[in-house]
Structure 1
Amino acid sequence: MANLFNTRKGCKMNKKLLSLLLVLALSFGLLTGCQNKNEVAKTDNNTKVETTTEESTGTHKVVDHAGHEVELPNNIERIVIDQVPIMSTYMAYHKGEAPHIVGYAGSLKAAVSKSILKDIAPELLDAETTVEGQSDLNVEEIIKLKPDVIFYNAKNADRYEALSKTGIPLIGFATVGGETPADPINRNNEWLRLLEDVFNEKGKMDDYVKAGEEIVSEVEERIAKVPEDKRPTSMILWKYNQGVPIVAGTGSFGGFWQQRIGTKNVAAEEKGYPQVNAEQIYSWNPEVLFLDGPGLLDITTDDVYNNSVEGIDFSNLDAVKNKRVFNTRLGMWNWFTPNPDAPLVYAWMAKSTYPEEFKEYDLNAKIKEYYSKWYNYDLSEDELKEMFNI
Structure 2
Amino acid sequence: MYTTFTDRHPDLQKRCLLDVLCVPHNNFWCYRQTTLRRLPMSRYSLGSFLQKSAAFCGSVLGGIIVLSIFLAPVNSWSGETFTITDTAGRKVEIPTNLQRIVTGPVVMPNLLFAVDGTGDKLVGMHPMSKSAWKNSVLKIMAPGMEKATTDFIQGGFKMNVEEVLKLKPDVVFQVSFEKGNIEQFEKLGIPVIVTHEGLRNLDHYLEKHISLVGKVLQKEERANELITDFKNADQMIAKRLTDIPKEKWPRGLILFNVEKLMVTGTGSFANYWLNHTGAENAAKAIQTSPRGATVNMEQILAWNPEVIYITNFCPTKPEDLYNNTIPGQDWREISAVKNKRVYKIPLGEYRWYPPSGDSSLMLKWMAQKNHPEHFADYDIREEIRSHFTDIYNFTLSEAQIDRILNPASTGSWREK
Q: TM-score range by the shorter chain?
A: 0.7 to 0.9
| Matched AA of 1:155 | F
Q: Secondary structure at the match of 2:228?
A: helix
Cα displacement string for residues 153-179 of structure 1 (whole angstroms, at most 9, x for unaligned residues): 1233233123323320001121xxx33
Deviates more, 1:199-208 or 1:375-384: 199-208
Please say if 1:120 is aligned against 2:158.
Answer: no
* 1:91 is aligned to 2:108: no
TM-score, normalised relative to structure 2: 0.74
Change (3 A) 1:264 1:98: same
SS in structure 1 opposite 2:222?
A: coil
| 1:356-387 CA-partner distances (Å, limit 9, x unpaired) | 00111222111111101111211111111121
Counterpart selection for 1:333 from 346, 350, 357: 350
- In structure 2, which of residues 269, 277, 301 is the aligned counterpart of residue 282 of structure 1? 301
Deviates more, 1:153-162 or 1:86-95: 153-162
User: What SS does the corresponding residue of 1:87 show, helix, strand or coil?
Assistant: helix
**Unpaired segments of 5 or more residues in structure 1?**
1-54
Does the aligned pair in 1 maintain the 2:252–2:307 contact within 8 Å? Answer: yes
Check if 1:153 corresponds to 2:154.
no
Q: Tell me if the contact between 1:188 and 1:340 (Cα under 8 Å) persists in the aligned partners.
A: no
Instruction: State, as a whole percentage, how many aligned pairs show the same letter.
Output: 32
Aligned partner of 1:324 in structure 2 is 341
**CA distance in 2 between partners of 1:382 and 1:327 (Å):** 17
In structure 1, the residue matched to 2:272 is: 256
SS at match of 2:395: coil
1:96-107 matches, within 5 Å, as: 97-107=118-128
CA apart distance, 1:326:
1.0
- Structure 2 unaligned segments of length 5 or more: list them: 1-76, 408-416
Give the match for residue 181 of structure 1.
200
Q: How does 1:348-367 map to 2 (within 5 A)?
A: 348-367=365-384
Equivalent position of 1:378 in the other structure: 395
**Is 1:269 paired with 2:285?**
yes
Aligned to 1:246: 262
1:134 is displaced (CA, Å) by 4.2
Give the paired residue count: 327
Code of the aligned partner of 2:237: V
Aligned-pair CA distance for 1:136: 4.3
TM-score, normalising length: structure 1: 0.79
Q: Which amino acid aligns with 1:73?
A: P
Q: As a proportion of its length, which structure holds more helix?
A: 1
Paired position in structure 2 for 1:230: 248
Coordinate RMSD, CA, aligned: 2.0
Alignment deviations for residues 9-54 of structure 1 (CA, whole Å, 9 cap, x no partner): xxxxxxxxxxxxxxxxxxxxxxxxxxxxxxxxxxxxxxxxxxxxxx
2: CA distance between counterparts of 1:228 and 1:234?
13
1:119 Cα deviation from its structure 2 partner: 1.2
Which of these two proteins has the greater Rg computed from alpha carbons?
1
> 1:291, 1:327 within 8 Å by CA — same for their partners in 2?
yes
Residue 103 of structure 2 is matched in structure 1 by 81
Match of 2:328 among 272, 289, 311: 311
Secondary structure in structure 2 of the residue aligned to 1:235: strand
Which of the residues 386, 404, 414 maps onto 1:369? 386
Q: Could you say which residue in structure 1 is the equivalent of 2:88?
A: 66
